[in-house]
Structure 1
């Protein structure tokens, strides 16, 4: 069963929350973060993307960047911008985007659960990205990035959260520059805190990583390193990591699309011809083609959109084989374009659905890329099925929106 515990969150003063809040470190470039933080000394990008405060040619993985993150975090604490709660608390985090809301529980989840598979994964991680987060955690002595978890709905948990939010005033409530509403409540009643912990222990057999595989893996590796140096108390903060846990019924997954730099030696006409062995191919002109169902794809090539429908025999019915990301990987990316490992091949890039199909057109029309593929989103049930089966999805299969903001709640480990 799922082991969670409350913690003494490091949080901004209420009047500074909107200025502190920052998008996750891995959804924007250093240049974008620098622009977003311009003129705002309170921005958490000074911690999560600290390269913005160093020379532009700095290696973002250099020790100087991690040291700067630690320096900036200490400065925000010293200035009173961020204050640690005096007692362990849970937190409730509600996001509203385009009229759709989702409300999660911010908690410290057990590294032991992660190691034991009670916190289930659906993606492989990359060692270089793990090392980046490991170095950031060790330098700052903090988990600054949230791991987004999901679980099958438990009515008792949902009811408890609903009651608390109805009866208590939020600590923070603001609308960010992208029109996403963020509301946070602090759960500081010992009886309620204990009941939340108990409900997860008896009602939640497992949780699933929706977003944040590298943050979770790095927390586990840091804990392992600390444990190797000597015995750790069972409740040591490093034995847990920062998570926000959402009921599955409230979640929606967006498409995660692909762009490829070249056609692996094929001409556009030849590539179209080869596609017809595995897909029904229809030219639809200049209007972007968004897939309307599983096993349908949009493709942008040579200034025109095409509608692809996978033929029977190009996929299986097992949890991995039925995925559109698998169909595209096996029958196009590998078979025709020679992309064997999407995690390491520099010829492919991934575009989150929040950027829209116009971003695919832009990347191809600029000459940077030659072909783009738009996919139908994975469902939350497909994600659960794959994680339950012990399998992993192809890289970059899911894009969740809205994104949790960094800086609103930080988990200190030292």
Structure 2
């Protein structure tokens, strides 16, 4: 029974929102970042990259303090405003491929992770949790919503559809060709209806943002928010964007490895034969069509790899994931990849780039072999989370990808 509450969002004025909204900082190339900071004084990138003002790269706690300063300057200059009433926010995204996502932005109670109302499927790194917790505590706001998904719900869907019949508070298209819409909901009756509808759902699932969630838990613990009587303590919550499971778009991450771990091609193929039926497809572009089928590109040829199910035991939801199968049958025993999070011989390419990208990277000589598979399904993601297990790194590339600076949650 997840507790999702309305909040008083800080957000850009209507005339500035298209200039303010930014992608994740890491997604920009150096040239793109320079151009946006130079040409757009209203970009949220100025807040999270405060060193641009001084033409100097700044990191650590000094950066955190300057981020807070830039944010306050935007507030003082009237670029941001804050809603007077606690609200939910219907948020719609139509991406450039034509996929539509409809959901609600709200504040999720971190204690629901302890109560199993919010479930995770990824492990997090303690140093990143601590670093981002310090960042949140210093700057005093959260500008990137965690993506949560919930079972399709008629009540929530009807409210979303009802709101979308009216004029949106925001409607803007980015240079990335995604169109964004926002409708605030502050009417008491609707607010209570949304809150009650989420409380009737057994659990929601983290789709994207595990480190942000873990940092929010750490922040709540550090500030004592979970032990205080006041249930509306702002440190107890994190900003979330909740969309129905039917709209979640999941792509796979393909794998590429720089060498064959000392083996020649024939030795490697013989090693694969233990767990897989192997067919050389030659120049034929092969993409898997079933679970536990894999594509491999090696030395100018595509191969199909079909798992020999009598040789591989599946005892839980994790065992059945193709990313786990690939790791346990090929990456670790044959290619010597012990830690898929840190191994610099291993690289990932998300499925939107498809196997043609993997082929080009292998043909370039940067990698010796590449592997492709089908995306993980929502049902598989939920099964892993329900069993309290965690997926291998880079098991999912999930959309929608949210913009920073459209709604902001202040502590």
Change (3 A) 1:337 1:122: same
> Equivalent residue for 2:205?
208
Aligned residue number for residue 145 of structure 1: 144
Shift of 1:6: 0.6
Match of 2:10 in 1: 10
| Structure 1 residues 228-285: Cα deviation after superposition (integer angstroms, max 9, x where no partner) | 8994732111110000111112222111222223322222332233222222223334
Work out which of the residue numbers 373, 376, 390 in structure 2 matches 1:378.
376
1:141 deviates by 0.6
| Counterpart for residue 231 of structure 2 | 234
Measured in 2, the distance between the counterparts of 1:30 and 1:138 equals 28
Gap regions ≥5 residues in structure 1: none
Q: How does 1:283-362 map to 2 (within 5 A)?
A: 283-286=280-283, 288-312=285-309, 313-316=311-314, 318-362=316-360
1:167-203 deviation digits (Å, cap 9, x = unpaired): x2111112222222211111121221122112222x2
Aligned residue for 1:91, secondary structure, equals strand
Contact 2:225 / 2:233 at 8 angstroms: preserved in 1?
no
* Correspondences of 1:53-72 after superposition (within 5 Å): 58=57, 62-72=60-70
State the match for 1:44 in structure 2. Answer: 44
CA change 1:356–1:79 in 2 (3 A) is farther
Distance 2:53 2:318 in 1: 43
Residue 354 of structure 1 contacts residue 401 of structure 1 at CA under 8 Å; is this kept in 2?
A: no
Three-state SS of the structure 1 residue aligned to 2:390 is coil
Structure 2 stretches lacking a partner, 5+ long = none
Question: Are residues 398 and 230 of structure 1, via their aligned partners in 2, closer, same or farther at CA, if it must alter by over 3 Å?
Answer: closer
Structure 1 residues 37, 308: CA separation in 2 closer, same or farther (over 3 Å shift)? Answer: farther
Aligned residue for 2:16, secondary structure, equals: helix
Change (3 A) 1:300 1:183: same
CA distance, structure 1, for counterparts of residue 58 and residue 313 of structure 2: 42
- Counterpart contact for 1:180–1:402, Cα < 8 Å: no
Shift of 1:165: 1.7
Give, in whole Å, the separation in 2 of the partners of 1:221 and 1:215: 10
| Rounded Cα–Cα distance in structure 2 between residues aligned with 1:308 and 1:360 | 16
The Cα of 1:3 is off from its aligned counterpart by 0.6
Q: Distance in 2 between matches of 1:48 and 1:20?
A: 12
Quickly say closer, same or farther: Cα 1:262–1:53, change in 2 above 3 A: farther
1:73-112 matches, cutoff 5 A: 73-97=71-95, 98-112=97-111
Cα 1:350–1:122 change in 2 (3 A) is same
Q: CA deviation at 1:331?
A: 0.5
**CA gap 1:10/1:171 in 2 versus in 1, 3 angstroms:** same
Asked if the contact 1:31–1:52 (Cα under 8 Å) also holds between the matched residues in 2, the reply is: no
Cα offsets for 1:131-165 (capped at 9, x unmatched): 33213212211112110001111211111221122
Aligned with 1:305: secondary structure? strand
Task: Identify the residue that residue 215 of structure 2 maps to in structure 1.
Answer: 218
Aligned to 1:396: 394
CA RMSD between the two structures: 2.4
Aligned-pair CA distance for 1:286: 4.6
In the superposition, relative to structure 1, how do residues 185 and 298 fare at CA in structure 2: closer, same or farther (>3 Å)?
A: same
Match of 1:263? 260
SS at match of 1:356: helix
1:299–1:49: structure 2 CA closer, same or farther, 3 Å change rule? Answer: farther
Deviating more after overlay: 339-348 vs 41-50? 41-50
Which stretch of structure 1 is more off in the superposition, 321-330 or 13-22?
13-22
Do the aligned partners of residues 125 and 51 (structure 1) sit closer, same or farther apart at CA in structure 2, a change above 3 Å counting?
farther
In structure 2, relative to structure 1, the CA distance for the partners of 1:329 and 1:66 (3 Å cut) is: same
